[in-house]
Amino acid sequence: MKMASDFHAGDAFELVREADRYRPIYYAAVSGDFNPIHIDREFGQAAGFPDAILQGMCTMAWLADACTAYLGDPARVKRLRVRFSRPVVVGDVVTFRGRCVSVEGPVVRLEVEARNQRGEEVLKGAAAEGWVES
Amino acid sequence: MPIDPRHVGRRYGPFRNTVCAEQIRAFAVAVSGGVPGYFGTAHGDPHPWSVDDEAARRSPHGALVAPPTFGVTFAMKPFALACSDPELGLDLIRLLHAEQEFEHGAPVRPGDELTTEGEIVEVRSRGPLDFLTVRTETVNGAGERVLVARWTAVIRG
């Protein structure tokens, strides 16, 4: 596993995930978030979207997966912060591009951009903090 | 319509939750693009320490560890209850998840007995948008804090 000396400001990482038709339903099953806006196309449309929209927490889980892969251990992720700036609609593909902005002792700070297939930001201010052993 | 600030301080819980290995695995697999319950169907490579018992046993944790946002399974309830609380009367079709913050303490593992409490800590308005923030705190059976989370909803006017 990577140690503190293996992390450097400027490191980059990337993750791509797709909100396929069943993703919000599977995510509802494992998270307990069965809000109809996520699993019912008609409800999504009534709320003003082209289809059902993915749970924001699933988008955040993808962000966490991107950070976990970089940090090397799910338990190293100590802080996560996001604003959901645009819904992820069924059919969207989201690309997460992360960057290490600083390493101070055991604290690794990360910033991540998340954009859909049209290049629109779906998260704003997405940031994470990892704690790594020296 | 702005949310009445008298609701700040309204509390939900405590709620108890026992974490199991299958729940952690299903969560990691579903998030990674697979079918929950069918380990091996993920295309997105979930971290092995959240899905593979053998790899987890050899890890520094000695057992599966939950992915960082697994807290949704045990800590979202106060937020969900606040959003649908008849006393607040929010219009759910206009409600979206706006912001989220997680601060993690001890790792979450199978067998953990978790207790979560939540409180409405802020209501505010910006133009036609009304915001509601619930703070939750979760501790494990050893009394260690595992998660502090801030959940913010927006109600579009």
ipTM of the complex: 0.96
Q: Where are the domains of chain A?
A: 4-19+60-131
Candidates B32, B76, B101; nearest CB to A33: B76
Contact A60/B67, CB-based, under 8 Å?
no
Determine the residue type at B41.
Answer: T
Over the stretch B58-101, which tens digit does the pLDDT of each residue have? 999 999 999 999 999 999 999 999 999 999 999 988 999 999 99
Over the stretch A75-98, which tens digit does the pLDDT of each residue have? 999 999 999 999 999 999 999 999
Per CATH, domain A4-19+60-131 is 2.30.110.10: no
The pTM for the full model equals 0.96
Contacts of B23 in chain A (CB under 8 A): 30
Domain hosting B51: range is 21-65
Candidates A22, A60, A68; nearest CB to B47: A68
Contacts of A77 in chain B (CB under 8 A): 68, 104
Residue B38 sits in the same domain as residue B94: no
pLDDT of residue B44: 66
Determine the residue type at B78.
Answer: P
Contact A69/B47, CB-based, under 8 Å?
yes
Distance CA(B78)–CA(B13), nearest Å, equals 7
Residue B49 sits in the same domain as residue B118: no
Closest B-chain CA to A64: B68
Residue B10 CB neighbour total at 10 angstroms:
17
Determine the residue type at A3.
Answer: M
Q: In terms of Cα–Cα distance, which of B125, B68, B66, B127 is closest to B100?
A: B68
Residue B12 sits in the same domain as residue B86: yes
